[in-house]
Chain A
Amino acid sequence: MQRSNPSRLAKVLRRDKYLYLMFALPFLFYFIFHYIPIYWLLITFKDFSIRKGVLGSPWVGTKYIEQFLFDPYFWQVFKNTIVINLFNLLWSFPAPVILALLLNELRTGPLKRSIQTISYLPHFLSTVVVVGMLTSFLSSDGIVNQLLQQFGVGPFAFLTEAKYFRTVYIASGVWQAAGWGSIIYLSALSSVDAELYEAARIDGANRWDQMLHITLPGIAPTITILLILETGKIMDVSFQKILLLMNGSNRVVSDVIATYVYRIGITDANFSYATGVGLFQSIIALIFVTACNAISRRVSETSLW
């Protein structure tokens, strides 16, 4: 055992020498630009002072972690963050897949290419512009309320009533991201073997069957990987959009961790506190991804690692 180990290692190294060589540059990149800066997270447990630096600042243990873990308002914004993201995942994740599948059913030609190109345009609009349009369309005499009033309902205070906040936030997010998100699936679709369709048609499979048994399995690994990665965003929000859409009335649901920390940060830029909250969010996100990855590995062949 002891003797065979080094020799096996040598064998492995010899076999994979080009792979290691190849990995050298990426390794350096991750080490320099990702792992070295991580030392900064230490300030969570320190009373950070610029002059003393990270290492010189005195330890305070979990003082800052406790500061937010025992803050009841923190748990309210924590809940808001999770709820918004769960709903968001539910709607935003399938939308680009469906769009890509529908586009895939179009016959190749100028129409298909144009629709593809057009559908990704909203991605390029800045948040400020999107929120500006939302405010205009959803105002009391905006186009949406005018349409609804044609059907005898409304007007609704979409932007001030708390119960509409998530809908507005998520729907606009789907609108902005579905086209862009579908690109990756369209690219995956293009590598599904065309001969499989030919064979299926000969077997008399209709288009629904083809989609279910050829197209979807063909892009399943991509879908799975992206879904796992997406669960890692459980603590992320479109900070600027929320900030712009937030007002006193919808604050009960719209106030999230990011906006809360930002508000505290304005008055009291406390690096240690903010870093502590960030660390907390990272841990939650990592737990979600690890769990999803484990499930995926068990259920399907695909996994992140």
Chain B
Amino acid sequence: MKKNKSLGSRLFDSINVIFLLFVSIVAVYPLYYMLITSVSHGMAVMQGLVTFFPVNPSLDTFKILLRNNDIFIAFKNSFVYTLLGTFINLLFSCLCAYPLSRRTFSGRGFLTGMIVVTMFFSGGMIPLYLVVQSLGMMDTVWAVVLPVAINTYNMIIIRTSFQAIPESLVESAQIDGANDFVILFRIIIPVSRAVLATMVLFYAVSHWNSYFKEMLYLNTKSKYPLQIILRNMLVSGLFSEEATMAGGASSFSVTDGTLRSAVIVFTTLPIIMVYPFVQKYFVKGVMIGSLKG
């Protein structure tokens, strides 16, 4: 491969690497900044002295965050909702995408159209609330995972990638007597690992970051996910002006600013970890392997 690389090709490679490194720096700095401010001294951050390295680092912010016992329960809740929700998403999306990807499926165009329409027309949160309530799902995990069982946008991406799988693969299985369930789970899903891994990421991130429907459908504080509790800290701030007004006990080692950074770091890190696992599936030649095997 290397031997026949032209000068232009090598020049392109160098420029490409430099450009992408630049993109990376621009992309990583804000979160890096959050990380260093979350462990820096509050006063230094308030005065704008923290730019590249932490100043007087300490873990006080995280200690304050973790002092709140609700956070551990909420963390567990978020984990459960994300896991269960993503599983349901994948199952429902595949069950929906596969029939719609079959060119022979009668009613395919009509059904797709009816589904796409739902992307634009919705009754909004009030009637949906009534539906969830009449199903008796209020204050249960089902209210959190079922109303979003399929994201139409994601489902269409899955369908598109199912469509790209050569028809011959399905036909040969049909000749072998496999029904559609067998074809979907034994052939289509294994070949589509890359796109499904992406969907795991998309769905998991959306569950992890979700707070609105949880806030609406859950009434018990012990069922709240992490985002509800932490978002409240982000938006309303932990210490209002009066809280620090007297200042007696406060040494300013922790301020709203540093705590906010800690909240962002705390919520973002777990979900960022998912991507490297997903990347594994972005390997060329998956298709060929399955075709040959």
Give yes or no for direct A-B contact (beta carbon below 8 Å).
Answer: yes
- Using a CB–CB cutoff of 8 Å, the interface residues on chain A facing chain B are 12, 15-16, 18-20, 22-23, 25-26, 29-30, 32-41, 99, 102-103, 105-106, 111, 113-126, 128-130, 133, 175, 179, 183-184, 186-195, 206-207, 221-222, 225-226, 229, 232, 271, 275, 278-279, 282-283, 285-286, 289, 302, 304-305
Q: Could you tell me if A115 and B24 are in contact, using CB atoms closer than 8 angstroms?
A: yes
Instruction: Provide 13 A-B residue pairs closer than 8 Å at the C-beta atoms, listed in order of the A residue.
Output: A16-B104, A23-B96, A38-B123, A113-B279, A121-B28, A122-B27, A124-B268, A125-B31, A126-B234, A179-B27, A192-B284, A304-B156, A305-B109
Residue with the highest number of chain A CB atoms closer than 10 Å, among B124, B130, B201: B124
In the bound assembly, the distance between CA atoms of A23 and B124 in angstroms comes to 25
CA distance A149 to B287 in the complex (A): 54
A-contacting residues, B88-138, CB 8 Å: 92, 95-96, 98-99, 102, 104-106, 108-109, 111-124, 126-128, 130-131, 135
- Could you list which residues of chain B lie within 8 angstroms of chain A, going by C-beta atoms? 6, 8-9, 12-13, 16-17, 19-21, 23-24, 26-28, 30-31, 34, 92, 95-96, 98-99, 102, 104-106, 108-109, 111-124, 126-128, 130-131, 135, 146-147, 149-150, 153, 156-157, 160-161, 163-164, 179-181, 184, 194-195, 197-198, 201-202, 205, 209, 234-235, 264, 268, 271-272, 275-276, 278-279, 281-288
B131 touches A32 (CB 8 A): yes
Cβ–Cβ < 8 Å partners of B264 in chain A: 125-126, 129
**B-chain residues with CB within 8 Å of residue A103 when the two chains form the complex:** 20
- Whether the Cβ atoms of B116 and A113 lie closer than 8 Å is no
Give the complex CA separation of A105 and B19 in angstroms.
12
Known interface pairs A184-B198, A194-B285. Does A26 touch B95 (Cβ–Cβ under 8 Å)?
yes
What is the CA–CA distance of A305 and B135 in the complex, to the nearest angstrom? Answer: 32
A115 to B275, CA, bound (A): 12
Known contacts A29-B150, A106-B16; A188 and B120 CB within 8 A of each other: no
Residues in A neighbouring B111, C-beta threshold 8 A: 23
| A119 in contact with B24 given A37-B128, A126-B234 (CB within 8 Å) | yes
Secondary structure dominating the interface of B: helix
Q: Is the pair B276, A113 in contact by a Cβ cutoff of 8 Å? A: yes
Instruction: Tell me how far the C-beta of B197 lies from the nearest C-beta in chain A, rounded to whole angstroms.
Output: 7
Contacts of A119 in B (CB 8 A): 20, 23-24, 27
**Contact B288–A193 (Cβ < 8 Å):** yes
Whole-angstrom distance from the CB of A97 to the nearest CB of chain B?
Answer: 14
Q: Complex Cα distance A111/B275, Å?
A: 15
A residues less than 8 Å from B279 (CB atoms): 113, 116-117
Q: List B contacts of A232 (CB < 8 A).
A: 119-120
Q: Is the CB of A187 within 8 A of B20?
A: no
Q: Looking at B27, B109, B150, B279, which has the most chain A CB atoms within 10 Å of its CB?
A: B27
In the complex, which residues of chain A have a beta carbon less than 8 angstroms from the beta carbon of B113? 305
New contact pairs (17) apart from A37-B128, A183-B202, CB-CB < 8 Å: A22-B99, A23-B111, A26-B150, A29-B150, A37-B122, A40-B124, A115-B24, A121-B28, A124-B271, A130-B30, A186-B282, A189-B282, A206-B8, A221-B160, A221-B164, A302-B160, A305-B108
* A121 pairs with B16, CB closer than 8 A: no
| Alpha-carbon distance between A217 and B5 when the two chains are bound, in angstroms | 24
User: Do B96 and A183 touch across chains, with their CB atoms under 8 A apart?
Assistant: no
In the complex, the 7 A-B pairs of residues with the closest C-beta atoms, listed nearest first: A37-B123, A40-B123, A26-B96, A37-B127, A305-B112, A18-B180, A40-B127
